[in-house]
Amino acid sequence: MIVNFKNSIIAVMLCSIACLCNSVNAQLPDGSIGNTQYIQLLNDNLAEETAKPFDPSMAGLSVTIPIYVFVTNNARGEAAIEESVITSAIVDVNPYFEPIGINFELKEIKYIPEYPYGVQPDFDGDIEVKVKYEIESVLNLFLVDTILVDGATAYYGFTFFPVDTTNNSIFLDKDFVTSKNLATQIGHFLGLLSTYDIVAGIELVDSSNCSGAGDMICDTWADPGILGMVNGDCEYTGWTKDPNADWYVPSVANFMTDGPDYCKCIFTNEQYRRMHYYYRNYRSYLR
């Protein structure tokens, strides 16, 4: 992995400031998992995406993406989340995307009275609540009580990669509505894989396959998955080797890890490049 020393120093400084917070709930897994269709799109676009050096400060974007929030009421008819929590998450997410000129603005909070929509059981095919309530050409944020995939595994959030641009929604469990978790899902929505994703293959510690495996980005550390292996001081406590028997030393600060949200506070330069590319080419209708 090639590291820009200046950018690394800045990132560490920003991380030190941004990580002075605590998470109330133990982190659940991230439900936004890569799929073969999106991996193919990444491969098809990789040469064009990486053709030129990228400087986030020269990205040339200045856009505001409107967010409409839909809160599912529970069986008691209660929202079970304060509007101030929602507002803060959206306001506080903006500094993370400011380097590439993307801003998010809360337009309206709407409440969904049908409490069965508070449990999302599967994200294969059409999602009824999305079909019924999603607004075109804006970012829709659905806040629900439980996110289940295959009716079993609970996730804190889920969104759609920029393959099918008719899907403009992010789902978050109400207990995990923070700017950090929202930033992770927006990262997926704008094209980022998780750093530990293995749909494209297992990334090696020596970065020899970094452009075609893992998250398919070369300035992020190879990551075996760190869920449950980070302590309260944001230190990785795992002991995992890659197929070459090299020890993983993953980042706990990157937004696209599966570590605790209170540790996550940075995107890398190449992650910004990817989000910039996929906004311009696949999400620019969101304005």
Q: For 103-132, how does the pLDDT look when each residue is reduced to its tens digit (9 = 90+)?
A: 999 999 999 999 999 988 766 657 899 999
- Residue range 192-214: mean pLDDT, rounded: 97
The stretch 220-244 carries a mean pLDDT of: 96
SS percent in the chain: helix, strand, coil, step 5? 30, 15, 50
Largest CA distance in the chain: 54
Report how far residue 46's alpha carbon sits from residue 211's, in angstroms, rounded to the nearest whole number.
Answer: 9
Tell me: the pLDDT tens digits for 70-105? 999 999 999 999 999 999 999 999 999 999 999 999
CATH number of 5-196+261-283: 3.40.390.10
Mean pLDDT of the chain: 90
Task: Give 109's strand partners.
Answer: 69
C-alpha to C-alpha distance for 174 and 83, rounded to whole angstroms: 11
- Give the single-character DSSP code of 98: G
Q: What pLDDT does 9 receive?
A: 39
**Least confident residue range of 144-153, 241-250, 261-270:** 144-153
- Burial tier of 220 (Cβ tally within 10 Å: 0-12, 13-18, 19+): buried
- Band the pLDDT of 1: cuts 50, 70, 90: very low
Residue 12 has pLDDT above 50, yes or no: no
Give pTM, 2 decimals: 0.91
